[in-house]
Amino acid sequence: MNNKPVLTGLCFAELKGLLSSYPPFRSRQIYKWILAGTKSFNDMTNLPFPLRKELEEKFTLCSGTVGSELHDPDGTIKLGITLDDSSIIEAVILQDAAKRTTACLSTQAGCPLGCVFCKTGKLGFKRNLSASEISAQFMHLRMREPDISHIVIMGMGEPLLNLEELRKALNFFMDPDGLNISKRRITVSTSGIEKGILDLAENGPDIRLAFSITTARPLLREKLMPGSRENPLPLLKKALREYQKKRDRRITLEMVILGGINSSLPDAEAASDFAKGLNTVINLIPWNFVEGQEFEGAPLKAPTIRELEEFRAALESRGLKVTQRYGRGKSISGACGQLGVVIN
């Protein structure tokens, strides 16, 4: 295991502090090379050779190596990144219809929550990622697509169970001396960790928040999302209200729709009741196929077009604003819920 400090993922002030034994202008030069995606200290050609060699001996430039790269015809790119302990995580570039490019990043190797509709949840949990490992995913993706405009923390793992390291990575992304990505272009998605939501409300950063509710029927939600048992919906709603009180931001309620399971009228009524008193938009996500995923002994299936339309209409008739996500990257298992599927 490499124990040398990693430079990628540090905002400029942190980097300057770590390199305080060198002239200040060297920190600025090194930071510019990091932001440019330089792969080795030896490529930092405006540094004297002895300094490059010394940096190589003392520090690691970037975490992880890209072991696989898959491309979908719709423009999605999925990277498999191998970390120092041989853990493999995945990060994805997504392009929407307007050609807006978004980086989808992971915060954990595996996931401890075990949602039945998510491949990552079936992998089990290995460990949290460091801030440098989260940040490095973005830099690896940026080498493939320089014009990334948005970041979603919706990859492998539960972000709010690794909030402190995530915060450090977000500081790197938002650093006005560096990447300077607007907080309005960063979304963190959580399955619902009350303590983490309250922490975000109190301490920031002031990013966009998405809550993967899937269903607001408590018993069904516990079956579909076993990790939700410790964070019941009434406490989560209270935490979301506090977040909106402190941060004044609309929250996205994400619902993975499973054919014949959570698309009924009672599900629409429960979602409507949960959304009362919150400034929300509901984002419907038709389930993306993963072989072998089951619920109560039956294979999971995506909703039919009619099923989805009727469910959406039921929500909208109750005054809810509804959007729908169209799965991208399915052919490379890069869509929502598919990360962790090995494609040869």
**pLDDT higher than 60, residue 115:** yes
**pLDDT higher than 90, residue 325:** no
**pLDDT higher than 80, residue 98:** no
Instruction: Determine the Cα–Cα distance for residues 197 and 195; give it in Å rounded to an integer.
Output: 6
> Is 14 known to be catalytic?
no
Q: Does residue 191 contact residue 228 with C-beta atoms inside 8 Å?
A: yes
Give the pairing of strands 208-212 and 322-324: unpaired
Q: Which of 271, 201, 260, 206 is nearest to 233 (CA)?
A: 271
How remote is the C-alpha of 79 from its chain's centroid? Answer: 14
Q: Does residue 101 contact residue 150 with C-beta atoms inside 8 Å?
A: yes
**pLDDT higher than 60, residue 241:** yes
**pLDDT higher than 60, residue 134:** yes
Instruction: Determine the Cα–Cα distance for residues 250 and 255; give it in Å rounded to an integer.
Output: 16
> Is 336 known to be catalytic?
yes
Instruction: Determine the Cα–Cα distance for residues 61 and 140; give it in Å rounded to an integer.
Output: 12
Tens of pLDDT, residue by residue over 10-19, are: 999 999 999 9
For the chain, the average pLDDT equals: 95
Domains of the chain: 12-58 (no CATH), 65-332 (3.20.20.70)
Q: Which of 11, 62, 115, 336 is catalytic?
A: 336
Q: What integer is the mean pLDDT of 65-73?
A: 95
Q: What integer is the mean pLDDT of 182-205?
A: 97
pTM passes above 0.85 = yes
Q: Which residues contact 243 (CB under 8 A, 6 or more apart)?
A: 197, 198, 200, 201, 209, 249, 251
Q: Which of 90, 133, 194, 254 is catalytic?
A: 90
**pLDDT higher than 90, residue 280:** yes
Q: What integer is the mean pLDDT of 190-201?
A: 98
